[in-house]
Structure 1
């Protein structure tokens, strides 16, 4: 698994499919074509893809599993709900399908839209390891964007949805709606051509135990229960 630096320009793999970022799969191409129809510039296509992945797929942190197939972009594109890593995988693959060089990125973050139920699932931890985002090559530089939290969920928590304009990083909320400290990035794990699933799952087991992968009620209200 290659790990390119953030400073270097795109290379061949940044436009090619990976096993997880299967940008050549019909489901991914159909998704990308539908969302970017009528968008002429790479920036316009990137914004449209970000908005679609953010809002068409409901954020659900209770579907974390170990089946590699569940992390493939072609599978994610057909589902109604998922969590940050599969959503970032889809955005990365769809961007490549739309001709935009893209990389899959990860960081460890603290205290973002957490609840008592989710904290219990994580063994009391408030550090979210391997939070997923996408790095997109636009206007001769890399721009980071995380499509995790859909707009309706953000409204429930009293925060504005993360917006992406193609010129600035669109990362997690630093403050909540009242101006209090809400979320911080603790460690950037870098960018990758494809998902390093084994490494990610090993870290999950180290931090949270097997309980992280237990089945749970999911759906539009799962996160707030």
Structure 2
């Protein structure tokens, strides 16, 4: 077991290979990953089929249950990108009917911790992201026309630009870190012509497969590392620089 990290003023990137085993912070509540909030505890308990079932279930089974609850229980909606910090708290996301990839990753991290599973937020810059809704601030930017507000990706095969800070989660299961993204629900994936990302708790679940072709997307171009809590200031600063103010809805 590695020594716990020194106190820091805010979230910083921690490569998984720099902390190969979880620390206390991977189970602890944080500002955005408020895993001790009643709404998050209730979300995790419901996902696992109740308190008694959760106690009987293995960590892998609990991880799969909370992943499925976040992926399909909170629809993907890129029009929810906002600068309001409260909107990114897991306890707020748990009550939402829809949200985009970053807050959904925050909720999965918090729900996993509430279920006793060490978890961290992870981020990548990706190409060919299967966005399926309209967000003019993204769609009209030549650097990100295909994410997250683009029309279904299968209708625009030439668009291969970057989307920054795509959210995923690293979960400590069976003695190793397993990565998964809960961003796109099954309904949105059907509209975009891609298969939902399956998660069995044993293999990474980061990419979709295009229906009928077996093509994998998105491609992860830059790993920004993992975080014990959401680095919201960094995310907002990058979006503001790359996409402009029109990407934000509030």
TM over 0.5: yes
Cα shift at 1:176: 1.7
Quote the Cα distance in structure 1 between the aligned partners of 2:93 and 2:47. 15
Q: Structure 1 residues 182 and 91, CA, compared in 2 at 3 Å: closer, same or farther? A: closer
Cα shift at 1:160: 1.4
**Higher RCO (CA-CA < 8 Å; seq separation 6+):** 1
- Three-state SS of the structure 2 residue aligned to 1:198 is helix
> Could you report, residue by residue, the CA deviation over 1:85-111 in whole angstroms, capped at 9, with x for unpaired residues?
000000000000000000000001112
Q: How many residue pairs were aligned? A: 214
Residue segments in structure 2 that go unaligned for 5+ positions in a row = 1-10, 145-161
Contact kept in structure 1, 2:28 and 2:113, CA below 8 Å: yes
Contact kept in structure 2, 1:119 and 1:125, CA below 8 Å: no
Residue of structure 1 equivalent to 2:42: 30
Quote the Cα distance in structure 1 between the aligned partners of 2:205 and 2:216. 17
Please list, as runs of the form range in 1=range in 2, the aligned pairs for 1:1-225 lying within 5 A after superposition.
Answer: 1-7=11-17, 8-36=20-48, 37=50, 38-39=53-54, 40-114=57-131, 117-118=134-135, 121-122=138-139, 123-126=141-144, 127-173=162-208, 175-179=209-213, 180=215, 182-214=217-249
Quote the Cα distance in structure 2 between the aligned partners of 1:13 and 1:50. 20
- Three-state SS of the structure 1 residue aligned to 2:172 is strand
Quote the Cα distance in structure 2 between the aligned partners of 1:49 and 1:181. 24
Q: What is the RMSD of the two structures over their aligned residues, measured on CA atoms? A: 1.7
- Three-state SS of the structure 1 residue aligned to 2:234 is helix
Larger radius of gyration between Structure 1 and Structure 2: 2
Residue segments in structure 1 that go unaligned for 5+ positions in a row = 216-225
The normalised TM-score by structure 2 is 0.81
Contact kept in structure 2, 1:22 and 1:73, CA below 8 Å: yes
